[in-house]
A and B are shown apart, each in its own frame.
Chain A
Amino acid sequence: MINTILDIHTIRKDFPILNRKVNGEALVYLDNAATSQTPKMVIDTIVDYYTRYNSNIHRGVHQLSQEATEMYEEARLKIQKHFNASQSHEIIFTPGTTYGINLVANGFTTLLNKGDEIIVSALEHHSNIVPWQMLCERTGAVLKVIPMDLEGQLVMDEYHKLLNPKTKLVFCNHVSNALGTINPIEEIITAAHKVGAAVLIDGAQAAPHIKADVQQLDVDFYVVSGHKMCGPTGVGVLYGKEEWLRKLPPYQGGGEMIAEVTFEKTTYADLPHKFEAGTPNISGGIAFGAALDYMNTIGFNAIAQYEDELLKYATEQLLTIEDLKIYGTSTDKTAVVSFNIEGIHPYDIGSILDKLGVAVRTGHHCAQPIMDFYKIPGTVRASFSFYNTKEEIDILVAGVKRAKAMLI
C-alpha cells in the first residue's frame, strides 16, 4: 500500500480516458512526461467555451467577445498567481514550450555580439539545443555545454568554470525529460547572474510536479506547456521578467501585437500583447487556467509526495528484473524511470508493452546527446502521474518480465 493523503480512486474518476481499453486490455498510461491526461472539468471548460461564448477577444464590442476576453485574461491571472509572477503582463501565452524558447532565442539575435557565449546543459531536449545553435549561427556567438555525469546529473564544478563575462545566456531544463533529474536551477541562476547573464529555464517537465516560484528563483525566463499539466495541447506560457520582455523585439508580426499601423511605421502594443500576434488559442488558454485550478485543488505537495512514492516503488520493483539498468539515478528526480534490459532493444519492449495495454515511451526522447553519452540507442521510459497506481506499476513490471521472456 502506498502512503498518501490523496484519494486516488476518486481522482481517477475525473479522467474519462483512463477507462478505455487498448488492444483489449485496460489502459495503463505511463507516458505522462510526453503528455498528461485531461480531467473532465478541463474538457468541460473547452466544451463550455465553444457552446456558450466562442468569439474573438480583445476587440469586440459585443457581449460574447467581452465574456471570452474576461475568461482569457482571468486565466492569465491564474497562471500569474500559480507561478507567483509579480505582474500579469509578464505572462505571455504561447502555443507551447518550444515556441517560448524560440521567441527568446530569436529576441536575443539583436542583443548578442560575435564571441559572446551561450551555455546549455548536456541534459537538454532537442528543442532546447537547436534554437541556440541557430542563434549562434545568426550572431557568431559560441555554444558551451555543461557536462553530465553517469548518474545523469550536471557537473556543477564545470558549469562554474564555464561562466565568464562573455556569458550572456544560460539555458537549462528544470527537470530532464529523458531521465527525470531535477537540476539545481537555484545555483545555476545565482551564478549566471553574478556574471550578468540571463537565464531561461525550461519548466515543461518540472511544472506538473513542482510549483515554481519565479520571483523566489529570480529566473529571467521560465517556459511551460499546458498539455503536460492536465491542460490541452497547443497552449503554453512564457514567463519573462518585465525588463527583459521590454528589451526583446516582437517575435511575430500580426494583429493583436500592434498599437498603430501606417505603411511608414508600426507602433507595437504593450506587454503582453507585443508577443501575442494573431488570434490566440482562446479556449486553450482558458482551459489551461482550469487545469491549474484542478491541480492546485489536489495540491502540489500531495502530488509530489505521492509521485515520489510511486517512483520509489517502480524503481524497486523494476530492479528485481535481472539485467535491467536504470538511466538517471540522481537522488533528486521526478517520477520518471528510464531503463533498458541488456541485449534487448527498447523498441521491442515498448511494442510488447503496447500489446499489453501499457503506454510507455521508447526511443531517444528527443535527447540524442544523452543517449550518445550512455552509448545506447534509446531507453524505455515510464513516467508517472498522480493518477497512476501501485497496481499499474505491477502491470508494467509483469509486462517487462513477459517481454524479456519473449525477447531473450
Chain B
Amino acid sequence: MSIKEIQEEIIDEFSMFDDWMQRYEYMIELGKSLPLIDEQYKTEENIIKGCQSKVWVHAELNDDKLVFTADSDAIITKGIIAILIRTFSNQKPSDIIAADTDYIDQIGLKEHLSPTRANGLVSMIKQLKMYAIAYQTQLN
C-alpha cells in the first residue's frame, strides 16, 4: 500500500471513534502492545530527547525500501509512533520525502505533534525524513 492509502485507512479507522477517550484508549493499546524497536538500537546515538518524553529511532534499508523501528518511554507518544511507523516504514525513501503528516491532525491527535509539547515526535518526523533523504542519496 502507498503512504497515502495507509493514511486514508488510518483516518477511516479513527472515524469510528466517538470521542477522545476512545481515540486515546486505542493509542494506549497500540503503545502497550507493540515491540517497536530491538533493544540493541535503544542507544544514546538513536535517542531524541524531548523535554517530556524520549524517543528512539532506528532506520535500515531493505532492498529499495526504508524500514523504521522506534520506541518511547511514554505510552501515548509510543502509540503515535506506532501510527507513524505503520505509515512510513517499508516505503521508498522518495515517497517518504514527499509525504506529509496532515492525517495526524485529521485523526484528532494534532496536539501531540505540536513543537510546544516537546515530546520528541516533531524531531522524530524530521529524523524520518532525514533518513529518507540520506538513503535516497545512497540509492542514487
Taking Cβ atoms with an 8 Å cutoff, the residues of A that contact B are 23, 344-348, 350-352, 354-355, 362-364, 377-378, 406-407
Contacts and interface: CB of A to CB of B under 8 A. Distances in A.
Q: Is the interface of B mostly helix, strand, loop or mixed?
A: helix
B28 A347 contact: no
Given A348-B75, A406-B21, A407-B75, 12 more contacts: A344-B75, A345-B75, A348-B28, A351-B24, A352-B24, A354-B111, A355-B20, A355-B21, A363-B52, A377-B54, A406-B25, A406-B28
Given A363-B118, A377-B73, A407-B75, A347 B24 contact: no
A362 B28 contact: no
A156 B77 CA distance: 40
B77 A407 contact: no
15 contacts: A23-B20, A345-B75, A347-B52, A347-B53, A347-B74, A347-B76, A347-B77, A348-B77, A350-B52, A351-B24, A351-B112, A352-B24, A354-B111, A362-B52, A377-B54
Given A377-B73, A407-B75, A345 B53 contact: yes
B119 interface: yes
A347 B119 contact: yes
B-side interface size class: 10 to 19
Contacts of A351: 24, 76, 112
B16 interface: no
Contacts of A348: 28, 74-77
A351 B24 CA distance: 10
Contacts of A364: 51
Interface string B62-73: 000000000001
B28 A378 contact: no
A348 B53 CA distance: 9
Contacts of B111: 354
Contacts of A354: 111
A407 B119 contact: no
Contact of B51 (A23, A344, A352, A363): A363
Contacts of A345: 53, 73-75, 77
Nearest to B77: A347
A12 to B, nearest CB: 27
Nearest to A368: B51
Nearest to B120: A347
Choose among A23, A344, A347 the residue with the greatest number of B CB atoms under 10 Å from its CB: A347
B73 A406 contact: no
A350 B111 CA distance: 12
A377 to B, nearest CB: 6
Interface string B20-37: 110011001000000000
Nearest to A344: B75
A344 B118 CA distance: 18
B53 A355 contact: no
Contacts of A362: 52
Given A345-B53, A347-B119, A363-B118, A407 B28 contact: yes
5 smallest beta-carbon distances between A and B, as pairs:
A345-B74, A347-B74, A347-B52, A347-B53, A363-B51
Contacts of B75: 344-345, 348, 407
A284 B13 CA distance: 49
Contacts of B21: 355, 406
Contacts of B76: 347-348, 351
A22 to B, nearest CB: 11
